[in-house]
Amino acid sequence: MKIAVAMSGGVDSSVAAVLLKNEGHEIFGVTMRHFDNAKYGFADDEGINLAISDARRVCEKLGIKHYVIDVSSDFEKIVVNDFISEYEKGETPNPCTLCNPTIKWGVFLKKALDLGAEKIATGHYVKVKTKDGKFMIYRASD
């Protein structure tokens, strides 16, 4: 089965990739560039560039392809601007509520499908249930 793995450069997504490859699946890594390092004052080897470099290195060691999707413009418009606006109002925003449906499950999923993925995987540890014929993500019980 061809599976796109959302690669953050961290341990969880790397382990997910290793496990899937060891099960015999055809996998490839996809990392999302959420922001432009130069715009926010990060050096080239910090922030998102470091995560991309780490993910690329893992993919090279696994002998799989690695793709980078630049979602920085959409991420800033949809997620960051809302976060700032809510924070200025004294609210405690949760950026994941906007990022997950638009960026992660929107842009990432489209790219994965465009690259021929039959399924996607992440390193997120969750409980998956079905409700009304749809898959739903819940907090893991432990």
> pTM of this prediction?
0.80
> What sign does the CA torsion over 44, 111, 93, 14 have?
negative
- What residue type is 29 in one-letter code? G
Give the number of other Cβ atoms within 10 Å of residue 29's Cβ: 24
The pLDDT tens digits of the residues spanning 2-52 come to: 999 999 888 989 999 999 999 999 999 999 998 877 777 777 666 778 889
The pLDDT tens digits of the residues spanning 64-118 come to: 999 999 998 899 999 999 999 999 999 998 888 888 889 888 888 999 999 999 9
What domains can you pick out in the chain, each with its CATH number?
Answer: 2-139 (3.40.50.620)
Give the separation between CA 22 and CA 6, rounded to whole angstroms.
Answer: 17
Q: How far is CA 81 from CA 6, 16, 78, 88, 99, in A?
A: 24, 32, 6, 11, 12
